[in-house]
């Protein structure tokens, strides 16, 4: 079923590599919170991918390191929760 879905919807494999800089999406809202979802759910910190864990059933998952604090993210992160970090001088 997964192969048929991938063909029909033209899914793309994640193409992140070790040492890539990424932003981490945090869309958790605690119960009773009056917070409104915005269009910028990504954390302000920059993360670097330290390890890629591959599995045939779920695909790739990533271990991240916070560049500001130097701490690892507790759990592995799926590719749909990260976004490539692009600096303004990268276009030069």
**Residue 19: which pLDDT band, with cuts at 50, 70 and 90?**
very high
Residue-number span of the structural domain to which 69 is assigned: 16-27+40-87
Q: Does the pLDDT of residue 58 top 70, yes or no?
A: yes
CB 60 within 8 Å of CB 52: yes
Q: Does the pLDDT of residue 92 top 50, yes or no?
A: no
Q: Residue 21 is part of a domain; what is its CATH number?
A: 2.30.30.140
80 in any annotated domain: yes
Distance CA 70, CA 10 (A): 37
Backbone angles phi, psi at 85, to 5 degrees: -90, 120
pLDDT: is 47 or 36 the higher one? 47
Q: Give the chain's domain count.
A: 1
7 in any annotated domain: no
């Amino acid at each position: 079923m997964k192969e048929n879905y991938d063909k029909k919807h033209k899914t793309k494999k994640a193409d992140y590599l070790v040492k890539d800089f990424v932003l981490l999406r945090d869309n958790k809202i605690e119960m009773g919170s009056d917070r409104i979802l915005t269009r910028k759910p990504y954390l302000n910190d920059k993360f670097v991918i330290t390890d890629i864990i591959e599995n045939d059933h779920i695909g790739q998952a990533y271990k991240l390191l916070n560049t500001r604090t130097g701490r690892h993210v507790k759990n592995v992160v799926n590719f749909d929760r990260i976004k490539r970090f692009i600096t303004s001088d990268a276009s030069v």
